[in-house]
Amino acid sequence: MASTATTERANEPDAPKRGRRPTSTYVASAARYLLLIPLTILFLFPFYLIMRNALMTNAEITAFEWAWWPADPQWGNFTRLFEGQFATMGTGLRNSAIIAIVNLVFQTLFASMAGYALARIPVRGRDLVFFFILLTLMVPGAVTFVPSYVVVAGLGGVNTLWGIVVPGLFNAFATFLFRQFYLEFPVEIEEAGRIDGLGFFGVYWRLLLPNSLGIMAALGVLSFISSWNAFLWPLVIGQSRDTWTVQIVLSTFLTAQQVDLSAIFAGAAVGAAPLVIVFLIMQRYIVQGVRMSGIKG
């Protein structure tokens, strides 16, 4: 019996050895890393440049001799940001955080409610409303800037944080993405909810909203980044130093009289840090949200 089994194994074709990967796999991995390493260095170079200049003096930054790192790092450049004569970076970080978080929560919530209504609630004129929402995407922001300011100023929103936040709480593009997502949502789940006695809002709040956290996170990240980087609208509405955001405080170091390069780079590092942290934590939701939106390239 033993000799028969040995003969059968000898006649079998050579099976691939377990635990060993083919050479082509190693070549593909090596080629991938050879491509990704230069791209990573190229991507991280601006961050290195910001930190390098943030720790230098103005004379070192503008010097003709290149230095990879300052011989005497000026950590005091960061403390100067929070000891400003006018609005400090601390005030800007606080205001930017409030604006960005409020926009993140309410912009995604309102867009999801509008997207569900446009996708699932059968009312007359629903498609016409969706058409006008899409039409707003074709209108340049410069066209609506002055009318928006007139309305906000008439309501007493100048020099207030709510005057900066409220005009951006509804986002037509986010509404479009939520509508696309809810159109692909299984109808059977909604029917089961209606059998249990849920109305339209109950189905949305208990069934659809918990299952759309991926796209909400993706749009929330984009909303946070856009609100944090906003400059022109907060500059026009927030005329008081108490309502200045990070970007406005950063612009005060660049005036017609002087350019404080070390403070600009230090402020850029501090202002970009929250965005980098949020993006690193939530980056997978951006791809997931686009995939779940139903948009196909």
- Which pLDDT score, from 0 to 100, does residue 295 have? 44
- Which pLDDT score, from 0 to 100, does residue 62 have? 78
For the domain made up of 81-292, the CATH class stated in words is: mainly alpha
Length in residues, the chain: 297
Q: Give the integer Cα–Cα distance in Å for 28 and 13.
A: 28
What pLDDT tens digit does each residue of the chain (297 aa) get?
444 444 444 454 454 455 566 676 777 778 888 888 888 888 888 888 888 888 888 887 777 888 888 888 888 888 888 876 656 888 889 999 999 999 999 999 999 999 999 998 888 888 899 999 989 888 888 888 899 999 999 999 899 999 999 988 888 999 998 998 888 888 888 888 888 888 888 888 888 888 888 888 888 888 888 899 988 899 999 888 888 999 888 888 877 677 778 888 888 888 888 888 888 887 777 666 555 544 443
Question: Alpha helices, DSSP H only, in 121-170?
Answer: 126-136, 141-154, 161-165
Cβ atoms within 10 Å, residue 162: 16
Q: Where are the domains of the chain?
A: 22-77, 81-292
- Which pLDDT score, from 0 to 100, does residue 87 have? 62
- Which pLDDT score, from 0 to 100, does residue 86 have? 57
- Predicted TM-score of the model (pTM): 0.78
Q: Give the integer Cα–Cα distance in Å for 271 and 253.
A: 14
- Which pLDDT score, from 0 to 100, does residue 107 have? 92
Tracing tokens 């005057």 back to the chain, one arrives at 163
